[in-house]
Homo-oligomer: A and B are copies of this chain.
Amino acid sequence: MLASPIAPTVDFDADGEQHGFLKLPYSRDDSAWGAVMIPVAVVKRGEGPTVLLTGGNHGDEYEGPVALSKLAGELRAHDVCGRVIIIPFMNYPAFQAGTRTSPIDAGNLNRSFPGRPDGTVTEKIADYFQRCLLPLADYVLDIHAGGRTLDFVPFAAIHVLDDKAQQARCEAAMRAFGAPYSMRLLELDSVGMFDTAVEEAGKVFVSTELGGGGASTAKSVAIADRGVRGFLRYAGILEGDGQPGTERRTTTLLDMPDGSCYTTSNHGGLLEMCRDLGETVTCGDVLARIYDTSRTGVPVVEYRARRDGIVVARHFPGLVKVGDTIAVVAIVVERDVVVAG
């Protein structure tokens, strides 16, 4: 297979703090000899595990980029035992455009793994993570949110894995992240996901959904900040005693066992959510109404919950199209589980 065209300007093996780029040559109409320059920071001291921290896998999700930009600016080599690789804006062209997918090739990075070295720009990025960065890492944390079109209660998540020991380590890492909610996912279609690539490589992997709408809040960023520190402590890279973010807190364990958690719209129109994120619903409750936008006075369409649970995700924009996911209802497995203290 061809070598990746991406060249890092940092030395992953050097101790200290480095700030550089993953340089991806990209010839185009407005720059014949141009490049996509993906920022990367490496903080390393001595031997120890490697943690790969990523944000911006989708370009319109902001808790990861904020928390990791902040961490990259604050973390010093003397704080760590081992190595932290920080890539706050994975799909950098998408991040710059503020869009889920890349404006260059419409690529959804999280559906592009394992990628191709001679593919599109997005495929080249996936390939570099797959073949160059993943082999360096022991622990991987990929911070997502809902982006401009979805909104979530804040949760960290792991998948049900065949390797139960690996799953247990992931689950412990998820608790160390310490989000208000913690989700166990049985992914129905995991083709092309970074998650799958990382898990198949045997790494300890946690992903998150920390809000959405294409914005972040002081509150959601605080969850990410604490979560990243917790994850690093879990990995043994950071010490934790008496540090900020080590105060006692709890999480609610959730599960999404099957497709009845999802409500898909068969109608386009103006969306009225009748239940907000985090609210408890009973099977049959009205979740949302959709109004005709071409005229007034016609009957409204109602969508009802198909199971008991809490609303963990919703369609964010005020207009909805046929085929959009309106809401997701998850089952509460256990409340008030202590995750740090």
Contacts and interface: CB of A to CB of B under 8 A. Distances in A.
Interface of A: 2, 5, 17, 19, 21, 23, 25-37, 39-41, 58, 60-62, 65-66, 69-70, 72-73, 86, 88-89, 95-96, 98-101, 106, 108, 111, 118, 146-151, 189, 191-192, 213-219, 221, 264, 266-268, 270-276, 279, 289, 291-300, 315-319, 321-325
Nearest 6 interchain pairs by C-beta = A62-B318, A35-B323, A19-B297, A33-B325, A72-B296, A69-B291
B214 A317 contact: yes
A39 to B, nearest CB: 5
A137 to B, nearest CB: 18
A91 to B, nearest CB: 12
A189 to B, nearest CB: 7
Given A111-B27, A191-B2, A69 B296 contact: yes
Nearest to A320: B31
Contacts of A33: 149-150, 315, 324-325
A133 B5 CA distance: 30
A289 to B, nearest CB: 8
A264 B23 contact: yes
B34 A219 contact: no
A321 to B, nearest CB: 6
Contacts of A292: 69
A217 B270 contact: no
Interface of A is mostly: loop
B317 A34 contact: no
Contacts of A88: 296
Contacts of A192: 118
A195 to B, nearest CB: 14
Nearest to A69: B291
A261 B5 CA distance: 19
A219 to B, nearest CB: 6
Contact of A266 (B30, B37, B221): B37
A151 B21 contact: no
A264 B34 CA distance: 8
| A60, A272, A276, A316: most-surrounded residue (chain B CB, <10 A) | A272
Given A23-B264, A29-B148, A35-B324, 4 more contacts: A30-B148, A32-B149, A96-B293, A148-B214
A36 B323 contact: yes
Contacts of A300: 69-70, 73
Nearest to A214: B317
B273 A218 contact: yes
B297 A215 contact: no
Contact of A291 (B66, B268, B279): B66
Contact of A318 (B27, B34, B70, B215): B215
